[in-house]
Amino acid sequence: MAKSPRQHASWRVALTFDVEHADRPAHPDGTRLVLDTLAERDVVTTHFVQGRWAQAHPALAKELTRHGHLIGNHSHHHARMTWLSPQGLAGDVRLAEQTIRRITGHDPRPWFRCPFGDGTDDPAVLAALDRLGYQEVSWQVDALDWRTKATGPQVARTVIEQATAHGDGAVVLFHPWTLATGRAMPLVIDGLRAAGARFVRLDELG
């Protein structure tokens, strides 16, 4: 069981982002705002990249790796994994992997996040991902930044409260295409640091 942050001189938080084509209206500069804030505050994070997004935004995809962020696979078409046949799932994941490697120069294995979290507890999906060299990564804290009426302060409050309550090793889910996320990021980083948090990539949680 996770300990309270009050029991840690320094406790770890992994900020993770599902970098994808939005399935609802998105702010055109949302991802740019997030990346700029992370760079300004010297925070490294984990980004699950959709293959089609990397194709559409190659410069931003390359920037992720230049700043030292960990890259994971978020599928190619952002379909629900449980809706796909075994062949369809394997083809989608491999296509995303090939696209991400070609554009960023980095292999996203073994990190994978199921779109919508669909399949994260499905034995067949997990076994298929394992055969492809992946482990599925879920989260403990949902920023709820995808909600239409979400605001930056609301998102920041949700994340700070829930991550602090979880304690060491909290994994936080964000979607950088929302304006709320961009506005929340400085508040999240400063608030969690004030609570003693240290930001790490997923491969540093161990």
Give the CA-trace dihedral at 124, 129, 130, 134, to 10 degrees: -150
Instruction: Tell me 197's DSSP state.
Output: E
Question: Amino acid letter at 132?
Answer: L
First to last CA, the chain: 15
**Residue from 169, 164, 109, 160 nearest 139 by CA:** 169
Q: What domains can you pick out in the chain, each with its CATH number? A: 7-204 (3.20.20.370)
Alpha helices in the chain (DSSP H): 30-40, 51-56, 58-66, 86-104, 123-131, 152-166, 179-194
Could you tell me the CA-to-CA distances from 150 to 102, 133, 179, 184 in Å, in that order?
35, 36, 9, 10
Gap between the Cα atoms of 142 and 98, Å rounded? 29
pLDDT tens for the 206 residues of the chain, in order: 344 444 446 899 999 999 998 876 677 678 889 999 999 999 999 999 999 999 999 999 999 999 999 999 999 999 999 999 999 999 999 999 999 999 999 999 999 999 999 999 999 999 999 999 999 999 999 999 999 899 999 999 999 999 999 999 999 999 999 989 999 999 999 999 999 999 999 999 97
Angle subtended at Cα 112 by Cα 155 and Cα 114, rounded to the nearest 5 degrees: 65
The model's pTM is 0.93
